[in-house]
Structure 1
Amino acid sequence: MLALTTQAADYTVTSNTITIPVKSPTATGARLVKLQVVNSKIIRVEATATTSFPQKNSLIILPQPDYNNFKVTENGSSVTVATPDVKAVVDASTGHVCFFDRNGKTLLDEVGGGKGKEFKPYTVPNREIGADSRLTDEQRHGWTWTATFESPDDEAFFGLGQHQSEELNMKGRNEDLFQYNTKIAVPFVLSNKNYGVLWDSYSYCRFGNPNDYLQLNRAFKLYDKDGNPGALTGTYTDRDGNTITRAEDSIYYEFALPDIAARGLTDVGVANLPKGFKLNGAHVTYEGFIEAPEANLYHFLLYYAGYTRVFIDGEEVVPERWRTAWNPNSHKFEYALDKGMRHHLLIDWYPDGDVSYCGLRVATPRSQAEQNRLCIWSEMAKDMDYYFIAGDNLDQVISGYRTLTGKAQVMPRWTLGFWQSRERYKSSEEIESTLKHFRDKHIPVDNIVQDWNYWKLDSWGSHQFEQSRYPNPQVMLDSVHSMHGRFMISVWPKFYCSTDNYKALDANGWIYHQAVKDSIYDWLGFMGSFYDAYSAGARKMFWKQMDENLYSKYHYGIDAWWMDASEPNVRDCTPMWYRKALCGATDLGSATEYFNAYSIVNADAIYNGQRSVNPNQRVFLLTRSGFAGEQCYSTASWSGDIGTRWEDMRAQLTAGLSYSMSGIPFWGMDIGGFCVENRYVKGQQEYDNTGKENADLKEWRELQARWNEFGAFVPLYRTHGQWPLREVWNIAPEDHPAYKAIVYYDKLRYRLMPYLYSMAGAVHFDDYTPMRALVMDFNGDSKVYDIKDQFMFGPALMACPVMKYGERHRSVYLPQQKGWYDLYTNKYYGGGQTIDVDAPYDRIPVFVPEGSILLFGPEMEWSDEKPADPITVYVYAGKDGSFTLYEDENTNYNYEKGLYSTITFKYDDASHSLTIGQRQGHFSGMLKNRKFNIVLRTPQTVDATLNPDSAKGKTVAYKGKKLVVKL
């Protein structure tokens, strides 16, 4: 169809796009602004500092149908684009854009004076290009842009991916958006004002302060511990008591680098620590005074490995944190400093290993008004490109996000069961015997996982089992399936140079060469690199190699793919510029421009590859990185190689909630943590030798119990980690409270399978989000905006994990919109209050809101062991409520053809009646006749201990026709 173009004095309309020249652009402002009306609630804004828009293809936005239900009007310099639900007004003189809802209320407003959009030309530095210097001049150039919007005081921001600083409401906070082990960047922010902003940029980005963190000497006047100006005092004491003292003008020992001085190395790395000093077993302090140039709330960034604490003016602003040396972590904190006053600073560091890391930087100070704005910075893009998405609630905003980026798939039913993993099973015998042990002990489990290094040591990327340890992989897979298990295997996009797969990819120019050029050997002592997933040809070859060596070769016996290191992580602990050099140039352009999007193109390779070979088996990918739109490739993410401390567990809750509110619904973590402190290792070793539980092992077991209690209420319920082993019988003996707690929540998870799988259906058909920060369901109650230790798991369960050692009770806030029932006892509480509740070792508090309908199925040891019949339906009085039971064939794509069924339950509180609606749809194997036991819970219900098997209710026979049950 030919596009309809109309021309007005200050704008041009072509189909559903309105292009507006800016009459009086600032020196760094936009010259053209273009609005594209996607639908009644989504408007795209594209802006450029040049006189034309670039030609480009999006990696995340799907083609959208033309939309024409909008009006364009002009009033003076203002051009208004209005749909039935939103309105965008552009000031043609400056390019300023403001969005309103259908009632004229301001939702999103750029800062004025043409400063809401700022551009700076960007050229990729030579050192970032990488060994494959194939970039065109056009690909080397782009724009750094900053978009800044006003934000009212009562606004809260969420999303941005998965980060590890125990932050939820991001108002007034800073976040660097880049991919790294334990860190996932998603360019989407969600507002409690019921809108979101998705920006189509793949480069390194920042939320909040657009400026880089500063070294301490650039932000403050420094004084040593004796008050002498110029530097802090660094004191290095090795394990033998030898001490070195020296001046430190910055604390920036953040990188371990290969010999790459020829590439213009200017970053400070661990090589700048005292020469010859042995860090392992040492104690290091950095002490002195910092003097701020202005009074402000300063935002600090601590980078650490080993044990680290930070004190300012004697206050412990960062309590002890630990991270293993091969996988450092960062932590943000804030502290108010006075102008011209010397504040005492002490960094107390116990390195962990021969190489360890420490860094402390601070953000450029900004006024509180500036800090509280919504500010987005993109390092390199072809132009500014973002989507404004409005909704009546946050679920509708996320639905708009998935309209743009793709529907999430219905995950296979078995993925909602329990997953057993460890780092790592070393043979097929270990895989089979572990699964058999679960079955022998009747502990529910669905999936067992093969982590890395199942290949021959020198053959990473061969995708082949080492025969001595896996003599017959087909027999192993058949054995797993005969025990009603599923099998997931780890595949990295990494190849040793000696492998045939590397050579085949390299022959086509589909391997990143910088790591090879710089002779980087990994921790196993071999050299290789990653493939260029941005190339369509490379993706096809990558899948072909997986298919020939793992998938079709073993008759589709592999049920899921674990796509590890998909950042991509070519090498740990390197500066940002060198990471870009290691990952480029890509087939599409510079690694600088495409820095964050590798995991989505890699997911594309597996999803479309498997469906091309075996089109009716549901794909499942678990990937360590993620990006906007990844949900459409049947992909879930997990939070990487996290630590095993209580603060790490706390950080996973905010990480998972933020990731879920970034529009990607399936997420999980290494339950129990991955990297283990030596004290826990020694505690297990002592127990193995003596049979005695020392203090460290006692804490370890409680940590594992509490983490499993929490993990039972997240979308993916998977335990994993380094030694000590993570099977429940290896954590504690059967009579131990840790063992009992873990098994209890495992069994509870399986009883909830009808509820869980119905949520999986709602994710696809209704764009639902299972793991929910309280703001998603109780927006308007400002107390919930930053609650970091409670969350909704679906509409009927508020989980309140216990995340401190030895805690046996905790406070819980009950949102004001509803009354609440204790899941286990039925005790009723009014909303809008904070209560103190018991939290014994073997239970975490869980509450059910009024109006909930909660479904429990029969006990099972795997997800499809038996039909979901009978189902006990708990109805919680006090509000009207509804819930839809979704069922299909569990593992295939027939639901895409309409082969599924739904049964809707509606509760009317005034009449205490439950209507079970007529069944909609059908599928092969569907239960035509079934039983529901309807159990009403009211505040007056007595003898109401949770027990779906003995709960007294009304049992009804259901044959697919509408029933009304009076309760």
Structure 2
Amino acid sequence: MTKKANHIGARILIFFGAFLCLLTTKAYAQEFVKTANGVIIYTNNNISGGTGAVRVQIISPTIIRVTASPSATFPAVESLITNYKNLPAVNWQADSISNAIIVKTDSLIVTVQCSTGTVSFTKPDGTPVLAERPYNGRHLQPVVFSGQPSWQINQLFELAPNDAIYGLGQHQDDMYNYRNQQVTFFQNNTEVAVPFLVSNHQYGILWDNNSISRVGDTRPFQSIGSLKLFDKNNKEGWLTASYSNNHNQLSQVAFTKAESDINYEFLNDSKLFLPADFDVAHGAITWEGAIQSGFTGMHKFRFTYGGYMKVWLNDSLLLDRWRQPWNPGVALLNLPLQQNNKYQIRIQWIPDGGESYISVKWLNPVPEADKNSFGFSSEAGKHLDYYFVYGQNIDSLIAGYRLLTGKATMLPSWALGFWQSRERYTSQKEILQTVDEFRKRRIPLDNIVQDWSYWKQDDWGSQVFDTTRFPNADSMIQLLHQKYHTHFMISVWPKFYKNIDAYNQFNAKGWLYTRNIANGQRDWIGKGYVSTFYDAFNKDAQKGFWDLLNTKLYNKGIDAWWMDASEPDILSNVSPQKRKEEMQPFAAGLAEEYLNAYPLENAKGIYEGQRSVNDTSRVFILTRSAFAGLQRYAAATWSGDIASRWEDMKAQITAGINFSMSGLPYWTMDIGGFAVEHRYEKPNSKDLEEWRELNTRWYQFGVFCPLFRVHGQYPYREIYNTSPEGHEAYNSMLYYDKLRYALMPYIYSIAGQTYHNNYTIMRGLVMDFEKDTATYNIHDQYMFGPSLLINPVYNYGAKSRNVYLPAGQGWYNFYNGQFYEGAQTITADAPYGRLPLFVKEGAIIPVGPALQYTNEKPADTITLFVFTGKDAAFTLYEDENTNYSYEQGAYANIGINYSQQNKTITIQQRQGSFKGMLSKRIFRIVWVTKDNHTGIIENAKAKTLIHYNGKAITVRMK
């Protein structure tokens, strides 16, 4: 066939396709409707997964909103996640071609298939970026909750073969790249749902849905009993469960049972279903036998556990975990199993308490047809709603997320210093003594935290100090401020005991969930008290809760809020169904459609409330759970009540990185872990030294997190309580505390970039080294700002660890300046007192004066460590530290550039100004080269001294 004939044939096909599209859509309405900011396509409900219409809206040249409705109209749904408005107009056009509608911006092409409404995204040159699965990829299934209609929503996307997925909140499974993995969105203590992901393929997805969801591989996990099971004598059909009533003598078996399910996952399951003659408080269960699968490939096993759990496969120990019995943990195993092969399995569980948890579930390998797919499956919603975000790198994707959901506010500068916390300071005297001891020992400190139960035992929710233990809270806070220059954060739960004054006031106005009251459910305090939470989705209740905090606490001088149990944890460890039942009555509509957004609405009321009465002091909130958009409410998140174990420390590295890559920049954890094993409570000498080493290593990691915070149960976590002065642990922790303060010009500057330029402080390596594919799955290293490579040590007794140095530049040892080429894995020294720390070639690190608290004195002299070998740049950011003047432009930037070719450093003319700004300062320049082996050390010799008055100045390296 000639080229001319080919051309004619192609034109006929295009014309015929367009005619088919016209016929298909005309049967329902019209080909497509062009709106002010996009198009609506009316789909064939029978072949579009229950969809009557698909709407594409152009938010920006790189952000597209896709909405699919079960009918031909779109329900009026107010998003809790997004808050964008008045965005600049976008140039775009829409045309029909073949069986599709084509929408174009300057940066993207969006193609929507006429009949199915399937959407795909490509670059202007036609390079694919992401596509919905073309057939059976979307499904809206009608469901009913509380007699009201809703829809279960499913959407599958097709991925490129080397696509990697990050973000999605904070989880404890130690998974980093979520491709072919599963994430559950259900807010829980230590588990944080944030429905935003980013990919190394230059796109992000914001899933605008608040309900319980499965993301990634969305197939539901199965009972272990859905595998072929064999008991320890090789009889088919079950495992052998051996029950011992003395966990110290496991060989003494009280009785055995044939069991094919291990499922004590939620509150009361173990009480209801464990045999009555098993002593759960002191006993142990061992399940053993063999498993067999009809599939070859990677099998996923998901374990829930409270107490001690060990798992062996073919006599190889794969898991050895502990979690406090009242707060179960999660562990995942990805096991490559062969079809029809038998694998010996043994699962040992020591509950370690009267109420504990264990469950074992599995998933067969991802089917071949689904290995390049990624999905969202949400329990409830009025329609399908997501935003596709395109960018040149992951930073630009996070910028798109914040365009949609709000900027991350500037935290007060003191919040970036060191916080001391404990569960809990029981009196005013303890708080003042603790801060006084820090100051006497000259241990830098900015924030002391009062955890729960500062009220009378039967008065939870009153927000009133128990005057027998806190006789004058106002004076205490004033003394902390004026004498000790320390800030005061306080824990405020959304919880109310029945019949206290605040409960009666809220109850009379219909602001409380009442199911827990109707159930007479008692908590764990004293004799147990009946309680409930306020409905944060009720706008009047939001304001009422702030008014309560304002009158009872804020007017005493409180600096910051600790919003605990914000999942909401009305009753811990309940099933999702039970949680939804507890959130009744529900002002927003159906709890099923909104429950994951509780931490967002809870923080909103505090943020807006405080700014309404004081718009000069920056709001600061710490919350145990989070949701998309939380960053706009001055809120940081910590990783919940984790255990004090090495594996839990390691899991926090991944948890913090993925949380930060979800668009929320401020994250922290309980340094040292929250709950401890009994062996640490009254330790022998060996356990005591392990405890000290664990805390030291955790502390080294924690200093390079966005927020630097110690917290936990007994043993007490103050440096001097962890180890005596002069001990290696004490010396190391003091060194890193001081280092945090010395690095404050660097840290506060990257915090400034986080607000002004949508930067991310804690950075997965893929963010800065996207071309280096070796970084895609490294989850125990990360960048802290643009220049510091952090490599925590998480193995007991380790004196070294493998460190991958990303390609594209060399790396300097932070401490001694030794140079290494990139694109290699080295064995880095990790003596007890130091973690391996490297600086990127072509970096400028500003180091300020020694401080006892962040605003002790201005940084009138800053040492600039210039790591040569490549061009380098850094912007020194400053503002008024604690107020909102930066929102009106009161801040300054000083650009600093190093030219490798000219061997010069240029300090640019200062841009901007603010009240109290230093007009002059001294910059000391320390040149770090491949030959001089100079690290970042105190009193480093500076060969260059610059007297800076705000005007540009250039000097040459000496």
Determine the structure 1 residue equivalent to 2:160. 152
Question: 2: distance between equivalents of 1:936 and 1:861?
Answer: 27
Q: Tell me if the contact between 2:308 and 2:321 (Cα under 8 Å) persists in the aligned partners.
A: yes
User: Does the aligned pair in 1 maintain the 2:696–2:732 contact within 8 Å?
Assistant: yes
Matched, 1:932 2:923: yes
Shift of 1:342: 2.9
- Give 3-state SS (helix, strand or coil) of 1:63's partner: coil
- Whole-angstrom CA distance in 2 between matches of 1:25 and 1:872: 68
The answer on 1:13 being equivalent to 2:34 is: yes
Report the CA distance between 1:497 and its aligned residue: 0.6
CA positional deviation for 1:51: 2.0
- The 3-state SS of whatever aligns with 2:553 is helix
1:187 to 176, 183, 195: 195
Instruction: Let me know the Cα RMSD of the aligned residues.
Output: 1.4
1:92 aligns with 2:114: yes
Structure 1 spans left out of the alignment, 5+ residues: 1-6, 130-136, 258-267, 687-693
State the 1:194 CA deviation. Answer: 1.2
Contact 1:209 1:363 in 2 (8 A): no
Residue 907 of structure 1, aligned match among 898, 901, 915: 898
Q: Indicate whether 1:221 and 2:214 are aligned.
A: no
1:434 corresponds to which residue? Answer: 434
Match of 2:257 in 1: 246
Which whole-Å deviations, capped at 9, do the CAs of 1:341-387 have from their partners, x for residues lacking one? 33222111112112221110112553144144121111111111000
Residue of 862, 868, 878 corresponding to 1:871: 862
**Alpha-carbon separation, structure 2, partners of 1:840 and 1:242:** 45
2:760–2:785: 8 Å Cα contact kept in structure 1? yes
Query: What CA distance in whole angstroms lies between the structure 1 residues aligned with 2:83 and 2:821?
Result: 45
Q: Say which SS state the counterpart of residue 700 (structure 2) adopts.
A: helix
- Compared CA separation, residues 785 and 543, structure 1 to 2 (3 A): same
Q: Distance in 2 between matches of 1:729 and 1:947?
A: 24
Q: Displacement, 1:84?
A: 0.9
* Number of the residue aligned with 1:54: 75
Native 8 Å contact 1:253 1:270 kept in 2: no
What does residue 262 of structure 1 align with?
none
Shift of 1:339: 2.7
Letter in 1 for 2:207: W
1:35, 1:44 within 8 Å by CA — same for their partners in 2? yes
2:308/2:349 contact within 8 Å kept: yes
Q: Equivalents in 1 of 2:48, 2:90: separation in Å?
A: 35
Confirm or deny: 8 A CA contact 1:163 1:655 kept in the other structure: yes
Tell me which amino acid in the other structure corresponds to 1:418.
F
Give the AA of the match of 2:309. Answer: T
Residues 285-319 of structure 1: per-residue CA shift (max 9 Å, x gap): 0112222233332111101011111122223232x
Q: Secondary structure at the match of 1:840?
A: coil
Cα distance per residue 1:115-147 (max 9 Å; x no partner): 2211211212xxxx5xxxxxxx5xx22111111
Q: Percent identity?
A: 44
> Cα distance, 1:589 vs. partner?
1.4
Kept in 1, the 8 Å contact 2:296–2:365? The answer is: no
Contact 1:169–1:786 under 8 Å retained in 2 = yes
SS in 1 for 2:768: helix
Deviation at 1:573, TM superposition (A): 1.9
Q: Is the 8 A contact 1:296 1:367 kept in 2?
A: no
Out of 495-504 and 560-569, give the one that drifted further: 495-504
Of 548, 551, 568 in structure 1, the residue corresponding to residue 551 of structure 2 is 548
Paired residues of 1:15 and 1:68 also in contact (CA < 8 A): no
User: Partners of 1:706 and 1:367 in 2: how far apart?
Assistant: 41
- Which of 745, 760, 779 is 2:751 aligned to? 760
Equivalent position of 2:123 in the other structure: 101
State the 1:24 CA deviation. Answer: 6.7
Inter-CA distance 918–309: structure 2 relative to 1 (3 Å threshold): same
Q: Does 1:735 align with 2:726?
A: yes
**TM-score computed with the length of structure 1 as normaliser:** 0.94
Structure 1 distance, partners of 2:485, 2:574, is 43
Alignment of 1:464-863 (within 5 A): 464-482=464-482, 483-524=484-525, 525-552=528-555, 554=556, 557-683=557-683, 694-863=685-854
SS at match of 2:876: strand
Which residue number in structure 1 is paired with residue 282 of structure 2? 281
Cα contact 2:848–2:861 (8 A) shared by 1: yes
AA in 1 matched with 2:599: S
Corresponding residue SS for 1:696: helix
2:549 and 2:586 map into 1 onto residues whose CA distance is 22
- Give, in whole Å, the separation in 2 of the partners of 1:419 and 1:721: 12
CA contact (8 A) 2:536 2:542 kept: yes
In the other structure, the counterpart of 2:366 is: 366
1:962 maps to 2:952: yes
Q: Quick one: distance in 2 between partners of 1:560 and 1:529?
A: 24
Which residues of 2 match residues 140-179 of structure 1 at below 5 A? 140-179=148-187
Shift of 1:25: 4.2
Cα distance in structure 2, aligned partners of 1:893 and 1:924: 12
* Aligned 8 A contact 2:860 2:920 in 1: no
Cα distance in 2 for partners of 1:748, 1:102 equals: 48
Structure 2 segments unaligned to the other structure (5+ residues): 1-25
Tell me what 2:390 maps to: 390
Opposite residue 913 of structure 1, the aligned amino acid is T
Superposition deviation, residue 249 in structure 1: 2.0
Q: What CA deviation, in whole Å up to 9, does each residue of 1:232-273 have, x standing for no partner?
A: 11111012846121121200012233xxxxxxxxxx544210
Once residues 76 and 372 of structure 1 are traced to their aligned partners in structure 2, the CA distance between those partners, rounded to angstroms, is: 27
Q: Is the 8 A contact 2:48 2:138 kept in 1?
A: no
Shifted more, 92-101 versus 948-957: the winner is 948-957
Q: Does 1:206 align with 2:207?
A: no
**Contact conserved, 1:292 with 1:341, CA < 8 A, in 2?**
yes
Is 1:346–2:346 an aligned residue pair? yes
- The answer on whether the counterparts of 1:173 and 1:371 sit within 8 Å (CA) in structure 2 is no
CA displacement, residues 596-629 of structure 1 (integer Å, 9 cap, x when unaligned): 1000000001000000111111000000000001
1:193 & 1:558 partners in 2: Cα distance?
A: 45
**8 A Cα contact 1:494 1:529, kept in partner:** yes
Describe the superposition over 1:572-611 as per-residue Cα deviations: whole angstroms up to 9, x where unpaired: 1221111111123421112211121000000001000000
In the other structure, the counterpart of 1:290 is 291
Q: Aligned equivalents of 1:462 and 1:102: distance in 2?
A: 59
Equivalent position SS for 1:595: helix
Give the Cα–Cα distance (whole angstroms) in 2 for the partners of residues 9 and 531 of structure 1.
48
- Provide closer, same or farther for how the CA distance between residues 208 and 950 of structure 1 changes in structure 2, counting only shifts above 3 A: closer
Cα contact 2:48–2:117 (8 A) shared by 1? no
Q: Work out whether residues 256 and 271 of structure 1, in 8 Å CA contact, stay in contact via their aligned partners in 2.
A: no
**Shift of residue 644, structure 1, vs aligned partner:** 0.2
Counterpart of 2:379 in 1: which secondary structure? strand
The size of the alignment, in residue pairs, is 922
SS of equivalent residue, structure 1 residue 594: helix
Distance 1:52 1:675 in 2: 51
